[in-house]
Amino acid sequence: MDRIAKARLLAVLVPAALLGGAYTAQLGFGLAPCEMCWWQRYPHFAALGLGLLAFVAPPARVWTMLAGVAIIASGLIGGFHAGVEYDWWEGITPCTAPASALDVLNTAAAPHVRCDVAPWDLFGISLAGFNFLISCTMGAAVLALAAYRK
């Protein structure tokens, strides 16, 4: 398998696996996503589409590299989110504030999910932190493989 084929494969498998993990955490384990969690998913959706496009539309290298950039974008959003969870900096959304009394009284309102509290971690690394590590590393691998010309 040549490098561009490997890059294309990674450009599809990485976002598919990370989105699969996110939906498993949400639907299987009840970890409702906050606003910044959703922000991390959007570039993965784009990367998945771009990666699939690379299999059917020329130039495959361009679509693959765009997918790699989208994967890295998700990772960078995850890094920002992890920093909010670890109290390294302030968040920029209302989900970093406690639920208001109006939210608590309004039973029709969606549940308030805090962006500054990690609902789960492993070895002190939150899901957003893992997204940062995996997405930035694998996105760079996609770019490196796709950029290489024989």
Residue 80 sits at φ, ψ, to 5 deg, of -65, -45
- Interval 1-43: pLDDT, tens: 799 999 999 999 999 999 999 999 999 999 999 999 999 999 9
**30 in helix, strand or coil?**
coil
Tokens of 113: 């999910």
- Interval 46-92: pLDDT, tens: 999 999 999 999 999 999 999 999 999 999 999 999 999 999 998 88
Q: What is the phi-psi region of residue 123: left when phi exceeds 0, alpha when psi lies from -120 to 50, beta otherwise?
A: left
Per-domain residue ranges of the chain: 3-147
pLDDT band at 111 (very low <50, low <70, confident <90, very high): low
Architecture of domain 3-147: Up-down Bundle (1.20)
Whole-angstrom Cα distance, residue 13 to residue 119?
A: 25
